[in-house]
Amino acid sequence: ANVRASCILCLATGNIGKPGAGANIFRGHDNVQGATDIGLDVVTLPFYYGLTEGAWNHWARVWEVSYEDLLSRFESKDIMETPGIPLTRWFDATLLPKDEIEQRDNLRAMFVQGHASNSITRIPESVKGLAKLDLLVVADPHPTTWAALAVQAGRTENTYLLPVCTQFETSGSRVASNRSIQWGEQIVAPSFEQKDDYQVVYRMAQKFGYAEQMFKNIAVEGDRPVPEDILREMNRGGWSTGYCG
């Protein structure tokens, strides 16, 4: 019903069939396909290349860094090629004994950025996991389910809500299920001290000391990476799914 109503509204207001018009992509999130394609899936590098040495070498060429440098950031080659923890089991890394998880230590900090509440499963276990974290950061335009669960878990310290822009306060590409790309322009300026996702990632990279390497082929205006350059980097590496057109 919502999709039908949105289409009717676009037609009634003359926002169909001309450049710069059209509806948002009708998914649970308007860029869920694009997010999955570029590496959201825990079992693969961007664009489904997997986690093998060959896949890492491919992206090392795209990113113009050495494979050895990427390898040095992991405890071992085995860990480098081990799939991550899916959303439905994230709390296992916090709650299970150390000898029952693949990584060296339990999960102690979590950064949640733009995650929909309808994707959270096994809420009782999630609440227990949140209670055991040393640090929780929720990056969203407003307090979401994660923030509410943090309160339910009894968190009163080392818990932060980082204000992040909505899609209307930033620009960039969004990808539909058939991988057709739609470009979204900024409609309104960010509210108060909000930053968009590009700025958040760039500032984190600065703090961790690898911003210069990470953004060597991406222009940065102030503290905001240029989204067109980010898309060009995807084009250079995304041969597997046709993003290179």
Please say which residue of 128, 161, 194 terminates a domain: 161
- Asked if the structure places residue 6 within a domain, the reply is no
14: left (phi over 0), alpha (psi -120 to 50) or beta: left
Of 161, 190, 219, the position where a domain reaches its end is: 161
48 belongs to a structural domain: no
In a domain, 185, yes or no: yes
Domain check: are 126 and 110 in the same one? Answer: yes
| Domain end among 161, 176, 196 | 161
164 with 140: CB under 8 angstroms?
yes
Question: What is the rounded distance in angstroms from the CA atom of residue 76 to the CA atom of residue 87?
Answer: 23
244 pLDDT tier (thresholds 50, 70, 90):
low
Same domain for 169 and 155:
no
The total of structural domains in the chain comes to 2
pLDDT of residue 114 exceeding 70, the answer is: yes
| Residue 245 reports pLDDT greater than 50 | no
* Beta pairing class for 224-225 and 220-221: antiparallel
What does the pLDDT look like over 21-72, one tens digit per residue?
777 777 666 677 777 888 788 899 999 999 999 999 999 999 999 999 999 9
Please give the residue range of the domain that contains residue 172: 165-245
Residues 193 and 147 in one domain: no
Are 228 and 172 in the same domain?
yes
Average pLDDT, the chain: 89
Q: Are residues 194 and 216 in the same domain?
A: yes
Taking only Cα atoms into account, the Rg of the chain, rounded to an integer number of angstroms, comes to 20
pTM listed for this prediction: 0.85
pLDDT at 80 over 50: yes
Answer yes or no: do 177 and 240 share one domain: yes
